[in-house]
Amino acid sequence: MDNYFPNTKLIVSLLLFAWAVCAFGYVNPYVFSAGAYDHIIDSHLQYQPFHFFDSHYVMNAGSCYNKTKYLHAYYVLDLAFLIIYSNAFLLLAYEWHKKDFYRLFRWSVILGALFDFMENTSFLLYLFNTNTKFLAVLTSIFTTLKSVLFLLNIILSVFAFFVPHLFRPLRVWRRFVSVR
């Protein structure tokens, strides 16, 4: 059973990941009420790299969102998406599950998902209370932290999938291996 567990769940998880990415494309016209913003705040660093902690973007983009539609569409979809992508990352790195490094990787995935949830929640609160700059700054901090961990987790999980034996447990490392 151990041989079939990661393969089946990985395929399902990657299909759900693809579905969620497509679903965001369909939800875009529904959520944006006005303005020329073509991407959501979650993907801001993809379109404008090295604009870390960009609270001005959050404040400008906030006026283009329909807040009730954001709550009913994006917030719920992004909550499901963070569970889907976290599961996909952990399943891609399944070969590392007995390695010491996997604990650190698992915490990185959990923190990334937590920052994503806090980003979505702080942005939702900002949409309903746009006169507080603190929520825009908080959203930009969570967006930056989540984006950095998301990219790191993508790289590590894909790397773990294709090169699973790179990180051996520390107790296995030997300077001299005797050949018998």
Residues sharing a CB contact under 8 Å with residue 162, sequence separation 6 or more, in sequence order: none
Q: Domain count of the chain?
A: 1
Helix axes 100-128, 76-92, angle to 10 degrees: 170
Determine contact, residues 169/95, Cβ cutoff 8 Å.
no
Q: Is residue 172 part of a domain?
A: no
Per-residue pLDDT of the chain (180 residues; tens, 9 = 90+): 445 555 788 888 889 989 988 888 787 777 776 555 555 666 545 555 666 667 777 888 888 888 888 888 889 999 999 999 999 999 888 877 777 778 889 999 999 999 999 999 999 999 999 888 999 999 989 988 998 899 999 999 888 888 766 655 544 444 445 555
What tokens does 158 get? 């894909």
Q: Is residue 78 part of a domain?
A: yes
Determine contact, residues 101/167, Cβ cutoff 8 Å.
yes
Q: Where in the sequence is the domain holding 109, given as residue range(s)?
A: 5-34+49-164
CB atoms within 10 A of CB 66: 16
